[in-house]
Structure 1
Amino acid sequence: MARRIAGPTINWAAIAERVHELERPSYLAFKARSDQYLRRMQANPESFPKLDWAYYKKNVAVAGMVDKFQKEFDALKIPYPEDKYTSAVDNQEKEALAEVKQFIAESNKRIESYQEELAKIKNLLPYEQMTMEDFHDAHPDLALNTKERPTFWPHTEETQLTEEERKNPF
């Protein structure tokens, strides 16, 4: 006979905490369908009801027919399907956990580098108190450098010399 499988219970409250407000109607519809399915499954008995063969032998007029049906019914064995997918799901879970751990480690490294950069920015002088030399020391890639990258007033891109004009000014 078939067996009743007691699967893991679902913590709907923990899932509900993670559902975004825009996704809440979909979540509630999914939960309702899941609950409906669970109620339908639990309404069925765990095993088939026993047949009263004596009742049928007494009330069926054809001799030997009930005995034949009883013999065939008792010989009928419906195998429970084997579980082929649990191991595959477990392997996927292990792979996903490894990926998550790797992502967390990489994220922690990025967080450390961002915190170092943030500490550098916090230790800078406020821009309104900086001199041109202070700005050049803090941001050498952005500061005006009269030897390597001079700019001319009004310091817009259209008014600046091209690389060729810088090499041959005359």
Structure 2
Amino acid sequence: MARRIAGPTINWAAIAERVPEAQKPNFLAFKAKSDQYLRRMQANPETLPKFDWAYYKKNIPAAGLVDKFQKEFESLKIPYPEDKYTSAVEAQEKEVSVEIKKFVEESNQRIQNHEAELKKIRSLLPFEEMTLEDFADAYPDDALRPLDKPTFWPHTEDVEYTEEELKKLAEE
């Protein structure tokens, strides 16, 4: 038999915090339907009312009719569907919780790396106060180095020339 839930086990406030503004009306409609369903379920008794067979035996004149109905009613068994999915959901929850823990650890590591990078950036001179040498020291890969690596305007890789192309240009 299904178990009766005493009250809602859903933390609606925690879910509401994660719902985007555009989805709030859908969320509120879903919550209203869920609350309505819960109220309807709690309005009904947990078990069916018991028949007063003695009352029916006393008031129905046909002999044996109530006994026959009582015997058939008590032998009637309506199978409640077996729960095949809870164990699968719980196993999946355990797998996902391991993945979540791993993701949280990796995220915390990324946060630490980004905070260290932010600390490094904040310790640098502001760009307005930097000289070209300061910029080259801070960002050696991005700095303009005309002697080591000459470039031509507009200084993008797709416009860069190979040594052969440079020789050909010099001959012209």
State whether TM-score is above 0.5.
yes
Q: What's the CA shift for 1:140?
A: 1.8
Structure-2 change in CA distance of 1:43 and 1:161 (3 Å): closer
Structure-2 change in CA distance of 1:3 and 1:119 (3 Å): closer
CA contact (8 A) 1:3 1:47 kept: no
Q: Secondary structure at the match of 1:133?
A: helix
2:4 maps to 1:5: yes
Q: What's the CA shift for 1:161?
A: 5.8
120-129 or 104-113: bigger deviation: 120-129
What is the alpha-carbon distance in structure 2 between the residues aligned to residue 46 and residue 3 of structure 1? Answer: 9
Q: What's the CA shift for 1:112?
A: 1.8
Where does the alignment leave 5 or more consecutive residues of structure 2 unmatched? none
Where does the alignment leave 5 or more consecutive residues of structure 1 unmatched? none
1:56-135 matches, cutoff 5 A: 56-135=56-135
Q: Name 2:36's counterpart in structure 1.
A: 36
CA contact (8 A) 1:136 1:142 kept: yes
Q: Name 1:17's counterpart in structure 2.
A: 17
Length-normalised TM-score, structure 1: 0.81
What is the alpha-carbon distance in structure 2 between the residues aligned to residue 74 and residue 104 of structure 1? Answer: 56
Q: Deviations over 1:95-115 (max 9, x none)?
A: 121111111111112112212
Aligned residues: 166
What is the alpha-carbon distance in structure 1 between the residues aligned to residue 88 and residue 70 of structure 2? Answer: 41
Q: One-letter code of the match for 1:6?
A: I
Q: Name 2:161's counterpart in structure 1.
A: 162
Cα RMSD between the aligned structures? 2.5
Length-normalised TM-score, structure 2: 0.80
